[in-house]
Structure 1
Amino acid sequence: MTGPVIVGVDGGPTGPDAVVLGCWLATALGTSLTVTAVHAAPAALGSGRVDAEWVADRHRAATRVLDETRASLVGVACAIDYRTIASSSAAHGLSDLAEQLSAAYIVVGSGRNAPRERLFAGSTAERLMAGSICPIAVAPTGLKAPLGALDRIGVAYVDTPDGRAALTAAAELARHSGAHLRLTTVVAAGDAALPFLLGDDTERAFLDTARETYERSLSRAAADVPDVTAEWEIRPGDPVDTLADLDDVDVLFCGSRGYGPARRVVLGGVSARLSRRARRPLIVVPRSG
């Protein structure tokens, strides 16, 4: 994808977080920003006048949201386009626009707080993960201050098509920004690795074999990334807890779960929970083939 970074805003309190992250990504990639407010479209079955009045009201609300965002972005260096879109949901509207523009990323807020003048209810991020063709960036709460230069990009890596897709996308951002990569694999610690007790010796052998396998795949993946400095690590613990608490990377890439249609982000257990809990901006990447 070579198009703009799309930022979805809805009048809720996490919209400014998404805008900060979107500006950051657009600047790093040297591309433009498209700030988008999606409002309700006319219903297929509606009561004419009432439906038209509701859609008009939602369009006015979307315009106000864009006006507020435009005022906050005065002086921003990258080129910015502002759009309102009528759709059945925010996720559908943003996904359709991304496909039309060949967007590099779609950026949304975390959706953790109640709305002020929120245009759609529900978790737009999770719905986007169920069908977007481009990476979804989720801004954690509290990104309202400008971000500094990218230094280290994290990748939640496993040697699967989804893990390799995340690494490819992270490497592209690293090449544009000059950042380093860190590949992290989380291995369950102790008896969490097995669903039932097989004995200490068997469990230890299982964990040792798993660690050796992960070490080989991480070392090979880090060495094969062109034009980027990459390091790797293995951390013990629960994957979601461990990855969510990473505080020594600027942004964390992860793949969608290991099955589903090609070139679609498919909502996985780890990526879904990370989108609600990660301390750093999270980018969920669709598989590439």
Structure 2
Amino acid sequence: MTAPTGGPVIVGADSSAASADALALGRWAAQTLDLPLIVAVVRPAPSAIGSGRVDAEWTADRHRAAEAVLATARDTLGDPPGVEYRVVASTSAAHGLHDLAEHENAALLVVGSRSTGPAARLFAGSTAERLLSGSVCPVAVAPAGLPQPPGALGRIGVAYVDTPDGRAALTEAARLARRTGSPLLLVTVVARGDAAVPFLLGDDAERAFLDTARETYEDALRKAAESVPGVTVNWELRSGDVVETLADLAEVDVLFCGSRGYGPARRVLLGGVSARLLRRACRPLVVVPRAP
């Protein structure tokens, strides 16, 4: 969640109620990591085709609307010193935030969830989902109506799987944990026996497979915990649906995960988990870019 160059935390704001949650999460991240905070609103860029006068009037109207969003953001934050407010012109919100993050060498991009989702649940719109495609830095999504302010629970979660992406998520989570003094909770989820495929393997073979898999996962969790110096690390192996189990992880301030994950036998964080978590997680989710 930190960048070695100390780049800023960037919050993408808009006119929805979800912006308040994104601003709260972004301010906490910037203060915790001792990084600059930039609040950005992306407005449509002028069209390359069309009436010059009409296009200019429409562009000016969109700029005024963006400035109004920034004014609301100032009021929401209490206009603290040192915060930058910017209007960015682009073809889409995701594209504009991508470009700004790359230009500023951002440490973190923060956006809110769509307000149409259930209370205290993420229901990420296209902006958050598109940000995950080729993002130059971790992307954090705040659930609608945060039940607790960021940092109140004092624990950092990691959806861990022993892959390059899982280890990248652990590294970023550990950096935040060192700044906050919070312990880490590493969670690996495996399918319950009744959720597996005994009709292919047979009941006995399936149980033997799950027992072996559990030993593999526990060993990976143990080694991962031992690999993080200077941080208290707890780990748990849980059974159930991967997305539902991780989405209900309410005892952490923030949950880190990789942008993709294929565990042993493709049982853990089986593809698309990060995207599905965006729509369901009850706590802020930080998706770490794919490891090179």
Equivalents in 2 of 1:145, 1:169: separation in Å? 22
2:184 counterpart of 1:192: no
1:248 CA displacement: 1.1
Report the 3-state secondary structure (helix = DSSP H, G, I; strand = E; otherwise coil) of the residue aligned with 1:7: strand
Which moved further from structure 2: 63-72 or 105-114?
105-114
Summarize the Cα distance change of 1:131–1:195 in structure 2 as closer, same or farther, 3 Å threshold.
farther
Which residue, 216, 221, 233 being the options, matches 1:218? 221
The answer as to 2:90 corresponding to 1:61 is no
SS of residue in 2 equivalent to 1:26: helix
Give the aligned partner of residue 161 of structure 2: 158
User: Where do residues 168-247 of structure 1 align in structure 2 (5 Å cutoff)?
Assistant: 168-194=171-197, 196-247=199-250
Give the alignment of 1:50-199 within 5 angstroms.
50-74=54-78, 76=80, 79-113=82-116, 122-143=125-146, 146-149=149-152, 151-194=154-197, 196-199=199-202
Deviation of 1:55 (Å): 1.5
1:47 is matched with which residue?
Answer: 51
Deviation at 1:57, TM superposition (A): 1.0
The sequence identity of aligned pairs, in percent, is 66
Distance verdict in 2 for CA 1:195–1:84, change over 3 Å: farther
Distance 2:189 2:115 in 1: 26
The one of 17, 20, 41 equivalent to 1:37 is: 41
1:52, distance to aligned residue in structure 2 (A): 2.0
Describe the SS at the equivalent of 1:19: helix
* Cα distance in 2 between the residues matched to 1:83 and 1:257: 32
Letter in 2 for 1:30: D
Q: Residue 283 of structure 1 is aligned with which of 260, 280, 286?
A: 286
Instruction: Give the number of aligned pairs.
Output: 274
Of residues 268-277 and 131-140 in structure 1, the stretch that sits farther from structure 2 once superposed is: 268-277
Q: CA deviation at 1:195?
A: 7.6
- The DSSP-based 3-state class of the residue aligned with 2:135 is coil
AA matched with 1:225: V
Name which of structure 1's ranges 142-151 and 3-12 shifts more when overlaid on structure 2.
Answer: 142-151
For structure 1, which runs of at least 5 residues remain unmatched after alignment?
115-120, 260-267
Between the aligned partners of 1:285 and 1:189, the Cα distance in structure 2 is: 27
Separation of aligned partners in 1, 2:173 and 2:185: 10
Paired residue for 2:255, among 232, 249, 252? 252
Q: Secondary structure at the match of 2:201?
A: coil
